[in-house]
Amino acid sequence: MHSYIKRHKQSSASWDIPTLCAAYNWPTGLPGGGVIAIVELGGGWNSSDVAAAFASMSQPTPVIRDISVDGTVNAPGGDADGEVALDIQVAAASYFMATGSPATIYIYWAKDIATAVRAATADGCDVCSISWGADEAVWGVAAAVDMEAAAKAAANAGMVVLAASGDNDSSDGGPNPANVDVPASCPHVIGCGGTSKPHDGVETVWNNNPGQSTGEGTGGGYSTIFPTQAWQGLDPAGPSGRMVPDVSANADPMVGYEIVLNGQIEIVGGTSAVAPLYAGLFAALGKKLGFITPDLFLNPIGFNDITVGDNGAYTALPGPDPCTGLGSPVGTVIESIIAAKNKTS
């Protein structure tokens, strides 16, 4: 398993998190209340970075609780610290932008993602963000099916589960030009892909090596483990297998996210940023939303359709595609979609 974070040293085109949320039409004044679970397989965080990050955004610090699932603990000082910082800062800032209140975050430290998801489900968390994963071939069928079982149980208990789709274009770092990532390919996980969103101009598929399937860009494609999902409404004559991703947002490190790491501002990207961005929004929209992915596909107006670019094996097209799924968020419209769902459920 590895995390999905990409670093970039130039800051002229980067985004601070509140400004990016505003660019995606984040709703405001929501009651919130959802507890955000974040799965981490390594690294750590420290209170000084958290305090500095949220002071720079003029936001209160979130409430953070560390939970060791299997003896793994918060251990700052390694390469994965950037992943942990990104997850905390993006999820909590996203939540605050929608609610005006500090987020509550439980960090599940574990060696195994499915075990951590089960722990978060048992603790009653409302949203779970996962920025770690690997190609389906690395997982194997048995482990992938067990991951889906954990995600399905979580959804049935009311928890929304989100996972990054990968940062190595359509190959996902695997042996073929087209591979998808677990947990993102699990049907009860919302797979989160990446775009490149400049401050001005057209938002495109994130791929810093256009036309190549093994470069730096969003993962996406069709599962060889999980079948086609009817709720995605895809052409039955098209490729078989569950399509990944479902949704997307900015992930390009060239126009990346400003975070605080080791007391310094760093510019980072990767689909690692997308899962916590949506996690903060969904936690703000309410508690126990459950399996909302079919509702999102029934209402594509909640997303900016991305029709320019490719991730190697696949090219963006009008409508859902295996580059960016439904597209990037239109926050206020997603709010209305979830509100309508809650009225009828």
Catalytic amino acids?
83, 87, 272
**What is the three-class DSSP state of 67?**
strand
- Return d(Cα 214, Cα 167) in angstroms, integer: 9
- Return d(Cα 205, Cα 310) in angstroms, integer: 6
- Return d(Cα 168, Cα 175) in angstroms, integer: 12
- Return d(Cα 150, Cα 125) in angstroms, integer: 14
- Return d(Cα 282, Cα 284) in angstroms, integer: 5
- Return d(Cα 291, Cα 190) in angstroms, integer: 9
C-alpha count within 13 angstroms, C-beta hemisphere, residue 234: 23
For the record, the structure tokens of 230 come out as 């009817």
For the record, the structure tokens of 117 come out as 């998801």
Q: 145 burial class (0-12, 13-18, 19+ CB within 10 angstroms)?
A: middle
Radius of gyration of the chain (CA): 18
What would the DSSP string read from start to end of 194-259? EEE--SSS--EE-BSSTT-SSSSB---EE-SSSPPPGGG---TTS--S-EE-SEEEE--GGG-EEE
Q: What number of residues does the chain have?
A: 345
Task: Map tokens 């965080």 to a residue.
Answer: 45
